Structure 1
Amino acid sequence: MLIKLRKLTKRFGPAVAVDGLDLEIRPGRVTGFLGPNGAGKSTTMRMILGLDRPTSGQALLDGQPYCSYEWPLRKVGALLEGGVHPGRTGRNHLLAMARSNAIPVRRVNEMLELVGLGGAARKRAGAYSMGMRQRLGIAGALLGDPPVVILDEPVNGLDPDGVRWIRGLMRDLAAEGRTVFVSSHLLSEMQVTADHLIVIGRGRLIADASLAQIVAGHASLEDAYYRLTEGSVLS
């Protein structure tokens, strides 16, 4: 499933958070989404998911906005900051999501096992560590077996084993032909995970190219990134 952004723009009063983005995020690869703090990455992801309304332009999934799908969790799975009620158990959190989108209940247990939370399924999410909450969020993103997976800072709170696990998971999802769109500040992780990179600064597109093309002529992705974003960091 192809994600298309067409002149996507978001203003908050006089401030322009996202400025006319034209992008295609393709299936079958991990697309990394990079940019300094305040570059507009989270706002862009929220517009794709219908959580923020564009000031102008469009974010389309196979030609349709997210909100037009009857069962959106079957089309797009997303990990964003927050979104888990601390009083619910991990299992009940996923169960509510499944029921809202007519997803088979068996998927709840399958996803809990996939992310390593089978033994903590009946604990309240408020008692989870940050890494456990992150794993629960990833389980929710995959619950509907969606062709598109959007992950905002997925390695936050994960220990080294968890980081290695999510790296492999993203690669596996892309190998299955899914569209994997992931934002991260960990450039070293993107260098070993992403196939393609989109870099923005101050809401504008800076680069849209393969990892190899962006890194070419530089010692590392970190070096290439800082040269690309020079002058785009908000003061």
Structure 2
Amino acid sequence: MRSRHRPGDDQLVIEVRGLSKRYGPTTAADSLTFTAKPGVITGFLGPNGAGKSTTMRLVLGLDRPDAGHALVGGRPYWSYRRPMRELGALLEAGSVHPGRTAFHHLLWLAHTHGIGPSRVLAVLDQVGLSDVARRRVGAYSLGMRQRLGVAAALLGDPGTVMLDEPMNGLDPEGMVWIRRLLRTLADDGRTVLVSSHLMSEMEKIADHLIVIGRGRLVADTTPAQLRAGHDSLEDAFLELTRATAEYHGRAR
């Protein structure tokens, strides 16, 4: 990757202001406001059904908000002529035709943005899929599909990266890899917004945390501040979000 980004560059900021979205009786985003900044790994946390994926879809313009706005570099994502060069996203690792090879999947995406084959080869190498790039995606494990999704997010060499649960299905080696990758992206001055249910990983990699529950902002803080007075970040998270969790139960 080219080191072309500077921490503090406002053109890379993800800005969510007063964002609201309802689907029938369900409120997915409720006057949600937060900012993800360059040079920082921002962890995006919340229980199941909290509205994390919906918020990311609203940032990408895949859904239209009922109120408020979500901007990337001060503009709606859909307004960019070549948006993948501005923000790269992973929302659903399984959304690739199983009969297509990883190389041809990325090559097709590259053509839509005027990106050459050399960049396809570079990101395949970056995510560790070079040796299986000509294999059909239907034969990939979940972890390999996750790596392919990350490759697609990095294809345009964007200044902003948004990843929804990128650690799902990764083995221990893959977890080390994704940690290092996210840190490299942030240290290069990029904005990194990443959701995860793995509190132990968020505790290791996140510089800042946005926590939501039932579509509302619950916390906008650092891992150390959130964990204060608790044995772990997971304990702090569970206490903070208990009232907003979709399911409640007691271990037996």
Same fold per superposition (TM over 0.5): yes
Shift of the alpha carbon at 1:214?
1.1
User: Alpha-carbon deviation of 1:103?
Assistant: 1.5
2:224 to 209, 212, 230: 212
> CA separation in 2, counterparts of 1:226 and 1:115?
32
Would you say 1:4 and 2:18 are equivalent positions?
Answer: no
In structure 2, stretches of 5+ residues that fail to align are: 1-11, 248-252
* CA displacement at 1:84 relative to structure 2: 1.1
Gaps of 5+ in 1: none
Question: Cα offset for 1:138?
Answer: 0.7
Cα offset for 1:158?
A: 0.8
SS of 1:226's equivalent in the other structure is helix
Partners in 1 of 2:71 and 2:108 — Cα distance?
26
CA RMSD of aligned residues (A): 0.8
Query: Which ranges of 4 or more aligned residues in structure 1 deviate by more than 4 Å?
Result: none
Equivalent position of 1:78 in the other structure: 89
1:15 CA drift (Å): 1.5
Q: Are residues 1:168 and 2:150 paired?
A: no
Deviation per CA, 1:142-198, whole angstroms, max 9, x where unpaired?
010000100111111111000110011001100000000000000000000100000
CA–CA distance in structure 2, aligned partners of residues 161 and 126 of structure 1:
22
Q: TM-score, normalised by structure 2?
A: 0.91
Question: In structure 2, how many angstroms separate the alpha carbons of the residues matched to 1:216 and 1:40?
Answer: 25
Q: Which letter maps to 1:165?
A: W
Q: Which residue of 1 aligns with 2:236?
A: 224
Aligned position for 2:165 = 153
Identity of aligned residues (%): 61
Cα distance in 1 between the residues matched to 2:17 and 2:25: 21
Count of paired positions: 235
Q: TM-score, with normalisation over the residues of structure 1? A: 0.98
Q: Name the aligned partner's letter for residue 70 of structure 1.
A: R
- Residue matched to 1:130: 142
Alpha-carbon offset, residue 102 of structure 1: 0.9
